[in-house]
Structure 1
Amino acid sequence: MTQNTGWGPAGAPGPGGWGGPQPWGGWAPPQPPKPGVIPLRPLGLGDIVNASFATLGRHWKPLAGVMLAVQGACLLVMALLAGAALAVVHEHIEPVFDPPYGQDPAPEHLTPFLVAAVVLFVLLLAVGLVALAMLTALFPAVLRESVMGRPTTFRAMWSEARRRTPAVLGTMALTILIAGAPLLAALAVAVPLMIVSLAGDDPSSGAVALLPALLLAALPVTVWLQVRLSLAPAAAVMEEAGPVTALRRSAALVKDHWWRVFGIGMLGGMIGASIAYVIQMPFQFIGMFGLIPLMAESGGGSEGVDIAGLTVAIGFGFLCVLAGGTLGQMFQTGYTQLVTGLLYVDRRIRHENLVPHMLAELAAQAPGTAPASPVPPQPDPTQPHPPQSHPTQPDPRADG
């Protein structure tokens, strides 16, 4: 894989860039180059949808390998943390969940259990966010190579995703804080008023209805902020940007094009969720069919039930559902992230004339050679219109 130098901010588009004024009314532009999954021009909805599928098809091996490795490591760390927590509070579990009849759990048992539960929850949440950040960093890294038509490997993608995980994690944390601020403000205002109202002798119905009203008012602002900052992870990976810079880049790219980013992003999420459900269905059916023979043998009673067979069948069904859910979630996450990454590429092509920068990078890969299907130089519209050539007609007077 070619070393990722980052797609830094390109210059502002000029008259000769994509979307500028076209010289000569009858001149047709040449076909743009297509080194990878997209043509190097502004992208339409079909380009984004098709390129997301094409990227998954071309690079499914490194994608699946890194995703499985990340999820496996995440589950292993979570299991170790849960086991450590159980080992610490094992002597308090029975007094908390099975106290003497008519008594509440003693504080000396309840307090350590609650502290361990809170600490475990925070640690599990942190591990999950780190794993999610690494997966979020993976897809822009793969997409960049897919757009440029370069091969990828598991080792290279693992290294690139791991390297950009801290920046993406910071970007995600700031996005959650910024986009979630309206909802948190609504809760901070409404919940104390509800508690005070309900604690009084005459609870007010207005205070109870205040929370839903504030949440409904805050939700559109949260959605607007989330979409405005949605391209930040792609900027953090493709531009080698820090969290704050990535958020600013996303806000600048989405500005004045919020509805397009929102609509295509939502459509990509719906496509990913639909196909993920289709992927899960066969695994769920296989898991359920494994229980049918045992249910028929038992005849609805408990006397003829084979406990060992039932245990194996339940375990097999659980594994099938788990496998289907994992594969479906992998596809849904990957497809949605690729759609978002392609929206970032499209915004930069339209807004910052990124194509010449990409062509220069392609040319630098093979010194002394030009990229495949380069865009020929466009005529200067300020120059006089060249005379049109016509086929030479024979002079009729020559025969006379």
Structure 2
Amino acid sequence: MNDSPGWATPGSSPSDSERPSTDGSAQQPAPPAQPAQPAGDPKWSAEQPPPGQWSNPGTTPAAPQPQPQPTGGWGQQPGTPQAGQYGPQYGYPGAPGPWGQPPAAKPGVIPLRPLGLGEILDGAVATMRTHWRAVLPITLVVATVVQVISVIVQKFMLDDLAISASPDTGPDELIDAIGSTIGASAVVQFIQVLGTIVVTAMLTMVFSRAVLGQQSSVSDAWRESRPQLLRLIGLTLLMALGAVLLGAVLILPGILADAVGLAVLGFLIWLPLLAWLAVKFTLASPALMLEKSTVFKAFGRSSKLVKGTWWRIFGITLLTTFIAGFISAMIVMPFQFLSIFAFSGGLDALADGSPADMNNWGALIAPAIGLIIAQTIVMPFQSGVTVLLYVDQRIRREGLDLELARAAGLENYGTTGG
């Protein structure tokens, strides 16, 4: 077990006698040293190699004769690697090689060095593909719970809402309809964000094992994340409460003073502040789960890790959100069309001016099924990017790669330039 402060690695590291070598092969124990035999011992001749490979004891060995080197047009000098020799030279950290530093060790889904954008995205996808038996059940259950709650909320909050194309609809009815829609959407989005945070926390243990090249299961993830669940709930509530209070402070004065301009100005200030705080604390959840810290320490750790790289993390998070949104839209769109044309009257209802019933059970359940499928795929991708961003920042700031290498059983990592 990795007991160093600030990192709670699931599972146990191999013992020193059983750890694999850094080239991926099992490390064999060194044979016991044989005592030197005197020159006259009869055992000496039995262990002697064929003549010509060493001189008699006490004599100076002759200088080795240079061997002719094959010519092949590249001007190879004695000692230069031949074709097919490059792989073994780079098979372990610190291996010699003519092309500079060898590749970083990669015991799991990412190399143990500062990560690029492509490596973070690839690491998240590789974890989903390699550890799908643990990833998909967690996301499927959470996505189903989130969508069931969302359908119930929409059904009862929009029960009296009927969007009609009739020109007789007055402004008051239209405002009420828009207000109800915004309110229901806000509740649904909050539930979605909450589910995403919970999935990120539960999958943190799966991703931390994947970084080390270790397998995990749903029961392992549950057992390792359960002690932090209450603190996770507190962290999630504080994040939501902070966003609401910030919006109330900036927007509510304009509403109470009946000053539309002031309210709009407060809203325009609230949005960038909310984005800044969201990125600043985006690593709080993995810090809480992996470091076994308190809620406020997790906020502090996230702020410290993000400091100086806000724009980079913002860009990666924004790109991840765009990719996830595109994939979700492609999956949900057919179910949305099914909801409109099969359960809501479709274009015929709009043509004859009859209200389109978008709040019956069929119209709500059809897109919910599409969202369950989409979120089962998208949520682990977003969660994985968040966890790998946390690992990347700790590698850059705190040299976490050395600790991860020891946990993965890589001997002498970092002592020879690896």
Give yes or no for TM over 0.5: yes
Match of 2:240 in 1: 176
Contact in 2 for aligned 1:40/1:355 (Cα 8 Å): yes
Contact in 2 for aligned 1:130/1:165 (Cα 8 Å): no
Instruction: Give the 3 Å change call, closer, same or farther, for CA 184–330 of structure 1 in structure 2.
Output: farther
Which structure is larger by alpha-carbon Rg, 1 or 2?
Answer: 2
Instruction: Give the 3 Å change call, closer, same or farther, for CA 284–61 of structure 1 in structure 2.
Output: farther
Match of 2:140 in 1: 68
Please report the TM-score for the alignment, with normalisation by the length of structure 1: 0.61
Instruction: Provide the secondary structure at the position in 2 that maps to 1:280.
Output: helix
Instruction: Give the 3 Å change call, closer, same or farther, for CA 166–133 of structure 1 in structure 2.
Output: farther
| CA distance in structure 1 between the partners assigned to 2:318 and 2:368 by the alignment | 26
Instruction: Give the 3 Å change call, closer, same or farther, for CA 7–231 of structure 1 in structure 2.
Output: farther
Amino acid corresponding to residue 327 of structure 1 in structure 2: I
| CA distance in structure 2 between the partners assigned to 1:125 and 1:290 by the alignment | 25
Amino acid corresponding to residue 257 of structure 2 in structure 1: L
Pairwise CA RMSD = 4.3
Instruction: Provide the secondary structure at the position in 1 that maps to 2:136.
Output: helix
Matched, 1:57 2:121: no
Q: CA deviation at 1:260?
A: 0.4
CA offsets 1:19-53 (integer angstroms, 9 cap, x no match): xxxxxxx9822211111110000000110111111
Identical columns (%): 30
Q: CA deviation at 1:157?
A: 1.7
Match of 1:201 in 2: none
In structure 2, which of residues 384, 396, 410 is the aligned counterpart of residue 350 of structure 1? 396
| CA distance in structure 2 between the partners assigned to 1:175 and 1:315 by the alignment | 32
Amino acid corresponding to residue 193 of structure 1 in structure 2: A
Instruction: Give the 3 Å change call, closer, same or farther, for CA 180–317 of structure 1 in structure 2.
Output: closer
Aligned length: 293
Amino acid corresponding to residue 354 of structure 1 in structure 2: L
Amino acid corresponding to residue 157 of structure 1 in structure 2: A
CA offsets 1:216-251 (integer angstroms, 9 cap, x no match): 123222211111111100101111111111000000
In structure 1, which of residues 254, 277, 282 is the aligned counterpart of residue 306 of structure 2? 254
Instruction: Give the 3 Å change call, closer, same or farther, for CA 216–143 of structure 1 in structure 2.
Output: same
| CA distance in structure 1 between the partners assigned to 2:264 and 2:133 by the alignment | 46
Contact in 1 for aligned 2:134/2:216 (Cα 8 Å): yes
Match of 2:120 in 1: 48
Instruction: Give the 3 Å change call, closer, same or farther, for CA 289–186 of structure 1 in structure 2.
Output: closer
Q: CA deviation at 1:325?
A: 1.2
Q: CA deviation at 1:332?
A: 2.7
Instruction: Provide the secondary structure at the position in 2 that maps to 1:237.
Output: helix
Instruction: Give the 3 Å change call, closer, same or farther, for CA 289–150 of structure 1 in structure 2.
Output: farther
Instruction: Give the 3 Å change call, closer, same or farther, for CA 171–317 of structure 1 in structure 2.
Output: closer
| CA distance in structure 1 between the partners assigned to 2:237 and 2:309 by the alignment | 24
Contact in 2 for aligned 1:179/1:226 (Cα 8 Å): no
In structure 2, which of residues 343, 359, 371 is the aligned counterpart of residue 325 of structure 1? 371
Match of 2:199 in 1: 135
| CA distance in structure 1 between the partners assigned to 2:338 and 2:3 by the alignment | 47
Contact in 1 for aligned 2:305/2:397 (Cα 8 Å): yes
Instruction: Give the 3 Å change call, closer, same or farther, for CA 217–155 of structure 1 in structure 2.
Output: same
Contact in 1 for aligned 2:147/2:368 (Cα 8 Å): no
Unaligned runs of 5+ in 2: 9-97, 157-186, 353-359
Match of 1:362 in 2: 408
Please report the TM-score for the alignment, with normalisation by the length of structure 2: 0.59
| CA distance in structure 2 between the partners assigned to 1:7 and 1:57 by the alignment | 31
Unaligned runs of 5+ in 1: 11-25, 86-122, 195-206, 302-313, 364-369, 380-400
Q: CA deviation at 1:6?
A: 8.2
